[in-house]
Chains A and B, each alone.
Chain A
Amino acid sequence: MKNLDESELVGLIRSGDERAFAELVARHREAVARIIGSMLGNVPEADDIGQEVFVRFWRSVENYRHEAEVRTYLTRIAINLSINELNRRKRKLSYLIPFALNQQESEQVKLDSHEKAFSDAEVVSAALQRLDPVHRSVIVLRLVEGYSTKETADILGVPLGTVLSRLARAQEKLRNIIEKLSKS
Chain B
Amino acid sequence: MKNTELKELLIKSFDSELSGHEQAILDQALNEHPELRQMNNELAQMRYTLMHLPQAMKPVSETAVLSRIERFKISETEQRRFVIKLYNFSMTAAAAILLLAFILFWKEHSFNLDSLFGYAGLSQEEMSNLFANY
**Which positions in A face B, CB cutoff 8 Å?**
18, 21-22, 25-26, 29-30, 32-34, 36-38, 40-42, 46-47, 50-52, 54-55, 58-59, 115, 118-121, 124-125, 128, 139, 142-144, 146, 149, 164, 167-168, 171-172, 174-175, 178
**Which positions in B face A, CB cutoff 8 Å?**
7-8, 11-12, 14-16, 39, 41-43, 45-62, 64-66, 68-69, 72
Closest 4 CB pairs of A and B: A37-B56, A37-B57, A29-B59, A118-B45
Contact partner of B62 (CB less than 8 A), chosen from A22, A30, A119, A167, is A22
Q: Is the interface of B mostly helix, strand, loop or mixed?
A: helix
Contact partner of A119 (CB less than 8 A), chosen from B7, B15, B49, B54, is B49
User: Total A-B pairs in contact (CB under 8 Å)?
Assistant: 115
Evaluate contact between B65 and A55: CB separation under 8 angstroms. yes
CA A139 – CA B43 in complex, angstroms? 13
Evaluate contact between B60 and A171: CB separation under 8 angstroms. no
**In the assembled complex, how far is the CB of residue B42 from the closest CB belonging to chain A, in whole angstroms?**
5
Evaluate contact between A51 and B50: CB separation under 8 angstroms. no
Query: Beyond A51-B64, A164-B15, is A143–B57 a contact (Cβ under 8 Å)?
Result: no
CA A36 – CA B57 in complex, angstroms? 8
